[in-house]
């Protein structure tokens, strides 16, 4: 994969972001306006295929974040969209499954969806 200036900018934005970002958020934060939304999406797709980033989907919008070695996943409230970072406990399980199936893993993806405590309470009161 060629690391163009544009790709580097998007990758830097994601690296520096404490929270997952949607393609629209990334587009809005790019300093110059040389890219359009479909370029951003294409770039994100490429990163995703290369295993450089992960994504979580909420209300039909994908949110992207950097895949690190000691990476995190996210737990997302589907009501208020609050995101919680959770540690990855999947690597050793995935390794075992891969071994059983002679599968070579490049990366994985995991998001936990549900209702946060506040939303559970609010929904219960309705």
- Contact, 20 vs 56, CB < 8 A? yes
Closest to 54 measured CA to CA, from 83, 78, 27: 83
**Of 2, 36, 37, 8, nearest in space to 22 by CA:** 37
Q: Which stretch binds Zn ion (CB under 5 A): 1-9, 39-47, 60-68, 108-116?
A: 108-116
From residue 68 to residue 97, what is the string marking binding to Zn ion with x (rule CB under 5 A)?
Answer: ---------x-xx-x-----x-x-------
Three-state DSSP state, 5: helix
Token digits of residue 32: 């110059």
Q: Which is nearer to Zn ion, 66 or 90 (CB)?
A: 90
| Joined tokens for residue 45 | 């797709």
Interface with Zn ion, residue 66, by CB under 5 A = no
- Residue 16: closest CA among 1, 30, 33, 32: 30
Q: Which two tokens stand for residue 43?
A: 């770039």
Using the rule CB under 5 A, give the single segment among 4-12, 27-35, 45-53, 118-126 that binds Zn ion: 118-126
Stretch that binds Zn ion, among 36-44, 60-68, 99-107, 115-123 (CB under 5 A): 115-123
Nearer to Zn ion, 4 or 113 (CB): 113
Compute the least distance from the CB of residue 73 to Zn ion, in Å: 6
Residues near Zn ion (CB under 5 A): 77, 79-80, 82, 88, 90, 116, 119
């Amino acid at each position: 994969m060629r690391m163009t200036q544009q790709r580097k900018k998007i990758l830097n934005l994601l690296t520096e972001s404490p929270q997952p970002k949607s393609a629209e958020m990334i587009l809005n934060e790019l300093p110059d306006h040389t890219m359009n939304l479909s370029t951003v999406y294409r770039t994100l797709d490429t990163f995703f295929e290369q295993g450089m980033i992960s994504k979580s989907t909420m209300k039909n919008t994908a949110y992207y974040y950097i895949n690190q070695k000691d990476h995190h996943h996210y737990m997302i409230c589907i009501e208020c969209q609050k995101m919680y970072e959770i540690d990855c406990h999947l690597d050793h399980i995935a390794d075992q499954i891969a071994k059983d199936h002679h599968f070579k893993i490049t990366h994985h993806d995991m998001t936990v969806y549900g209702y946060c405590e506040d939303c559970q309470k609010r929904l219960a009161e309705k």
